Amino acid sequence: SGAEYVLLGILLGPQVSGLLGRTVLQSFEPITTLALGWMGAIIGTRFYLAELVAVPGITYRLAFVESLLTLLTVFGVEMAAMTLLGFSPGRVWIPALAMGAIATASSTAAVNMIGERLGKERERGSERPLLVQLSVSTTVNAFVAVIAFGILLSMHHPDPYVMDRPITPTEWMAIAIGVGVVGGSLFYLFLGSEQHEDRLLIALGGAVILVSGAAAYLSLSPLVVGLFFGIILVNTAENREEVTAVLESVDRPLYFVLLVIGGATWRPSAEPWALAVVVLFLAARAAGKIGGARLAARANGALPVLGNDWGQALLGQGGLALALAINYQYQQVPIGSGLVFTAAVVSVLLTDFISARLMRSAVVSAEQQNGASESLARDSLAGESLSGEVS
């Protein structure tokens, strides 16, 4: 996840050494905006329709139910906790929803690692169902997290006073989606069939700068705009694989810069109850992921295939959680920005080292449960056959 770069940024920032002062950090805002838009575009490239339609519908149903249950669980717990602490419900819903969106995000790194180690070998003509479900779930988690965060910024958006009436949250969300769709369409028209890597890099850089800069100017989320930019691009461009490779080749350097800047801009919360809110965030997220995944599988009859504990494989947070928290800071939301960022950093640090182990444990548990179910089925069939012979 690169959480160590956040710690490096904290050490360099005004809170510790002061090597990166406020003025210097403000000059880095364009780089931060570019990195957020770039990450959103990479998430968008996962939504290639030709591959999505090949996945059974129940897989998406499980993923969306688990995502929404996690979001609502964390949102409800944080709302209740901060309201009991004496804050107005008319204000605490903003950091509560931000933490709910952050909690929904799950790491794709652990899925890729376990998938490579197991080789995704085919059993009885199909891929391991749990690995397929986890791959889809992390993608849906990212989509729900980014969209929920975009809705938050649309609802808590200052009025620019350019019309006779205030622009509604629905219209702000439509504007964010429209910027991404138009940006992806323009790139397709100009360089949709380009194969040269250097030209693609320059063109993609310019396109992401354009759409993410427009999002920042309009006080919208570059992640949302970049998401729909990537979706349009991957489904229209003839050079889909080349575009994806170029985006991924620049992702990590930009991401590490984003983390350093985010750590430097972090301001710790001075409230004595901040630690309790962060602990509640961790507990509510674990309950939402594990409990939501189990409820979704039970309701759809998928527990025998996925296992009782498949939700624990989604506990790893990953980089998107930090990106959402950094985006929350840079949107200058005046409510709990330090608290939201602290919750994200603590969660990433705690889950980063154990996410692969949790995922491997879930895979092994599901396979053992599948093996036991198949053994019982074989014994039942053998019993029926023997009863027929005796008759």
Q: What is the mean pLDDT of residues 154-160?
A: 79
Q: Among all chains, which residue has been given the structure tokens 């968008």?
A: 44
More confident residue, 25 or 284: 284
The tens digit of pLDDT for each residue in 52-89 reads: 988 888 999 999 999 999 999 999 999 998 888 777 77
> What DSSP letter does each residue of 16-47 carry, written as one string?
TT-SS-HHHHHHTHHHHHHHHHHHHHHHHTT-
pLDDT value of position 357: 75
Distance CA 293, CA 182 (A): 36
Residue 119: left if φ>0, alpha if ψ -120 to 50, beta else—which one?
left
CB 282, CB 351: distance < 8 Å: no
- Residue 206 corresponds to which tokens in the numbers above? 């310019």
Q: What is the mean pLDDT of residues 347-353?
A: 81
Q: How confident is the model at residue 387 (pLDDT cuts 50, 70, 90)?
A: very low
Distance CA 209, CA 217 (A): 12
Distance CA 201, CA 288 (A): 39
pLDDT value of position 364: 73
Residue 122 has pLDDT above 70, yes or no: no
pLDDT value of position 118: 63
- Residue 263 corresponds to which tokens in the numbers above? 């750590």
CA angle, 325 as apex, 319 and 331 as ends, to 5°? 130
More confident residue, 48 or 337: 48
Would you call 270 helix, strand, or coil by DSSP? coil
The least confident of 177-186, 289-298, 372-381 is 372-381
Q: What is the mean pLDDT of residues 317-339?
A: 80
More confident residue, 311 or 387: 311
pLDDT value of position 258: 82
Would you call 123 helix, strand, or coil by DSSP? strand
Amino acid residing at 322? L
312: which DSSP letter? G
CB 234, CB 45: distance < 8 Å: yes
Residue 333 has pLDDT above 70, yes or no: no
The least confident of 129-138, 161-170, 283-292 is 161-170
Q: What is the mean pLDDT of residues 211-240?
A: 89
Residue 101 has pLDDT above 70, yes or no: yes
Out of 12-21, 218-227, 304-313, the most confident range is: 218-227
Residue 368, C-beta contacts closer than 8 angstroms, at least 6 positions apart: none
Mean pLDDT of the chain: 81
Q: What is the mean pLDDT of residues 323-332?
A: 82
Phi/psi of residue 211, each to 5°? -75, -40
Distance CA 362, CA 48 (A): 27
Q: What is the mean pLDDT of residues 326-330?
A: 84
pLDDT value of position 83: 85
- Residue 115 corresponds to which tokens in the numbers above? 């998938």
156: which DSSP letter? T
Distance CA 170, CA 162 (A): 17
314: which DSSP letter? G
Would you call 10 helix, strand, or coil by DSSP? helix
Instruction: Give the count of beta carbons closer than 10 Å to the beta carbon of residue 377.
Output: 10
The tens digit of pLDDT for each residue in 175-215 reads: 999 999 998 888 877 766 667 778 888 888 888 999 999 99
Report the share of the chain in percent with pLDDT over 70: 86
The least confident of 24-28, 171-175, 299-303 is 24-28
